[in-house]
Amino acid sequence: MEKIDIVLVAAVAENGVIGRAGDMPWHLGSDFRRFRAITKGKPQIMGRKTFESIGKPLPGRTNIVVSRDPGLVIEGCLTATSLEDALALARKDAVEKGVDEICIQGGGEIYRQALALADRLRITHVETTLAGDTVFPEIDPALWEVGEEERLPAGEKDDYPTCYRVYERCR
Ligand SMILES: NC(=O)c1ccc[n+]([C@@H]2O[C@H](COP(=O)([O-])OP(=O)(O)OC[C@H]3O[C@@H](n4cnc5c(N)ncnc54)[C@H](OP(=O)(O)O)[C@@H]3O)[C@@H](O)[C@H]2O)c1
């Protein structure tokens, strides 16, 4: 059976900030296009707060929302009351669809719990430092090596330049 990798997908400022007041603290059109392309068809796991900030399921992929509320029902999404249960749903979906990655798409609480389980990180480093209330956990260089890197100047629909890096777990 083919291995299915757990992949954290995030956009992170230089000071680790990923969110402010329940939303993203930037608009990055180019990164959103990349996000759609790299996650298409793959199961997505997100925390209930991140789902609420997006407001609707992302089309073309199975959306799994994690909440401790067992009564939570969201049209167009699967729900799970633990990260482990969400991963089990995502694995089943990945096998059925024949894809080799499960995407963990935040937010801070979910990234913190999922980092130890991750095989790969797809990080857009946003080249700015700004205030926020939600951060990405530290990426330990002893555990992760950069396999791919692409720097993008800020385009018309981007607030900041970015550097996209794919980190592979080396230990
Ligand atoms: N820059 C980026 O790439 C990026 C990506 C995603 C999100 N964000 C930002 O991150 C912020 C949201 O992050 P956040 O840390 O506040 O919240 P979050 O991680 O999106 O969601 C937290 C919620 O998930 C549920 N949860 C967490 N761990 C669980 C577990 N082990 N079992 C069951 N349920 C669990 C709980 O829901 P209940 O309270 O319902 O029990 C918890 O309140 C927003 O500002 C958003 O815009 C940024």
Which residue stretches of 28-165 are H helix?
Answer: 29-39, 48-54, 83-97, 108-114
What ligand 1 atom has the least distance to the C-alpha of 66? 34
- SS3 for 150? strand
Pocket test for ligand 1, best of 23, 27, 49 (most atoms within 8 A of CB): 49
**Mean pLDDT within 92-116:** 98
Q: Which residues have any ligand 1 atom within 6 Å of their CB?
A: 10-11, 18-19, 22-24, 46-50, 53, 66-69, 81-83, 105-110, 113, 134
C-alpha 54: how far from its chain's center? 13
> What is the token pair recorded at 3?
């291995």
- Tell me the DSSP string of 3-17: --EEEEEEEEETTSE
Is the pLDDT at 60 greater than 90? The verdict is yes
**Dihedral, 111, 116, 122, 123 alpha carbons, nearest 10:** 60
Q: Cα(96)–Cα(115) distance, rounded to whole angstroms?
A: 25
Is the pLDDT at 1 greater than 70? The verdict is no
Q: What is the 3-state secondary structure (H, E, C) of 132-143?
A: CCEECCCCCCCC
Is the pLDDT at 2 greater than 90? The verdict is no
pLDDT in tens, 138-158: 999 999 999 999 999 999 999
23 CA distance to ligand 1 middle (Å): 11
Q: Return the residue whose CA atom lies nearest to atom 24 of ligand 1.
A: 47
107 CA distance to ligand 1 middle (Å): 4
> What is the token pair recorded at 59?
């089309």
Just give the CATH number of 5-169: 3.40.430.10
77 CA distance to ligand 1 middle (Å): 16
Is the pLDDT at 39 greater than 90? The verdict is yes
pLDDT of residue 78: 98
Domain boundaries, the chain: 5-169
Q: Look at the block and give the residue holding tokens 């913190």.
A: 112
- SS3 for 92? helix
Is the pLDDT at 169 greater than 90? The verdict is yes
